[in-house]
Structure 1
Amino acid sequence: MTDRIRVLLVDDQELIRLGFRLVLEAESDIEVVGEAADGDEAVRAVAALAPDVVLMDIRMPRADGIAATRAIVRAHAATRVLVLTTFDLDEYAFGALDAGASGFLLKDAQRTELTAAIRSVHRGDAVLAPAVTRRVIERATRGGGTANPLPPDGANDPLGDLTERERDVFLAIAEGMTNTEIAQSLYLSESTVKTHVGRVLAKLGARDRVQAVIMAHRHGLVDPRPGRS
């Protein structure tokens, strides 16, 4: 039996935490290891419990979810943060991504979407609500300010230093494919895909998959039409 994914719930509303707990504890591969009611509590709880994934609310008293996410990501690189909010607004989406969140979902996400998102960020994938993904890409391709700034493009060819296989992986990331989907598409093992993804991000100078997606769209490497991102 594989180890279960250890999750910390962070929300200032007790009933919401209870709802998440009931949903997640019904999953055989997920374990809720603790709860926190604000950002300060969340930072302390991560230090004490070392969860794999933090479900993080945005609007909370004292330290908010963005500040807590930034502190957690800086101090605990192995812990992934999945932000949930009722507010579908750019300032929260970009703020959370800039703070280092691995995912952003709205609280009206379906149960299956939530559990799938937890598993995805635990595997190292990035998760964005479709509406948020569209606006991240739109803002980046317009050249407007983004809270998740891109690294310099060097010779303006993001594929220049990539091997042929790494190019394939980069384009798959840009299409929003998970490691599992990339492995199936390219007939590789997931461990090999993870290695390629790490090398791609390092060569591009991208902090995470979100930056890689933005870079690909900015350079016109993928179809920007709805449903393609």
Structure 2
Amino acid sequence: MIDVVLVDDHELVRTGFRMILEQQPDIRICGEAGTAEEGLSLIRSLKPAIALVDVHMPGMSGIELTERVSRANLPTHIVVVTVVDDARFPKRLLDAGALGYLTKGCSADELLGAVRQVAGGRRYLAPAVAQQLALATLDGDSSPFDALSTRELEVAMMLVRGKALTSIGEQLSLSPKTVSTYKQRLMEKLQVDHVISLAHLMTIHGLLDTHNHQVGN
């Protein structure tokens, strides 16, 4: 039996996953959490085979959760599920210790296949992600964004989507002052002085779809 914990701040997403997974005779949902903090507590106490984890959650991010589970040498394998499907983010997540990577647009069959494959100790990458990672490796180009910490990368992605510092702070459970510090630090690392310049740099390096964002100040 494959025990699974669901960690996502959207109840509808958890419900959808639960309905698909619970129909399988070899899979059991043993817990659900709406935050990464709750998810980490569940993983520590239940030690499920699999945790399906969203990337962006209030407070601790899914990346931080993945890193903590990996550092603690817990037996749980992380399968990250997110709407983000660029090559940089999956690489960061795989480096953090995730064994699987799915987008929220995956089919029920792909979800089940990924859960079973990762439960068997084998890595699973959504086909589109695997292709992007392969192309990024072939290019061999290092990105200035590789120098950013996980949190700095998250703040950068929110800034170029027009989110205010207070809004970013609320989503990440940080004070506006702390978010401002992250903003200053990441801009120094990237050698840019404005969010528009940041957006341009992210577009060049394939981190931003120019049709799906609104640049803020």
Name the TM tier (shorter chain): 0.5 to 0.7
Structure 2 unaligned runs (5+)?
A: 147-217
Paired residues of 2:44 and 2:74 also in contact (CA < 8 A): no
Where does residue 117 of structure 2 map in the other structure?
A: 120
Task: Give the residue type in structure 1 aligned to 2:111.
Answer: L
What is the aligned residue count? Answer: 145
Q: Secondary structure at the match of 1:95?
A: helix
1:85, 1:106 within 8 Å by CA — same for their partners in 2? yes
Greater RCO, CA 8 A, separation 6+: 2
Q: Secondary structure in 2 aligned to 1:45?
A: helix
- How do residues 106-185 of structure 1 correspond to structure 2 at under 5 angstroms? 106-145=103-142
User: Cα distance, 1:107 vs. partner?
Assistant: 0.9
Which of the residues 28, 32, 53 maps onto 1:31?
Answer: 28
Instruction: Report the Cα offset of residue 72 of structure 1.
Output: 0.8
The reply on whether 1:9 has 2:11 as its aligned counterpart is no
Is 1:65–2:47 an aligned residue pair?
Answer: no
Following superposition, the deviation at residue 100 of structure 1 comes to 0.7
User: Residue 171 of structure 1 corresponds to which residue in structure 2?
Assistant: none
Percent identical: 38
Question: What's the counterpart of residue 156 of structure 2?
Answer: none
CA distance in 1: counterparts of 2:41 and 2:68, whole angstroms? 10
Query: Does the Cα contact within 8 Å between 2:117 and 2:123 map onto a contact in 1?
Result: yes
**Counterpart code for 2:4:** V
For normalisation by structure 1, the TM-score amounts to 0.60
Give 3-state SS (helix, strand or coil) of 2:28's partner. Answer: strand
TM-score, L = length of structure 2: 0.63
Aligned-residue RMSD, C-alpha: 1.7
Question: Take 1:6 and 1:145, find their aligned partners in 2: how far apart are those partners?
Answer: 38
> Tell me, which stretches of 5 or more residues in structure 1 are unaligned?
149-229
Indicate the residue corresponding to 2:182 in structure 1. none
**Residue identity matched to 2:18:** R
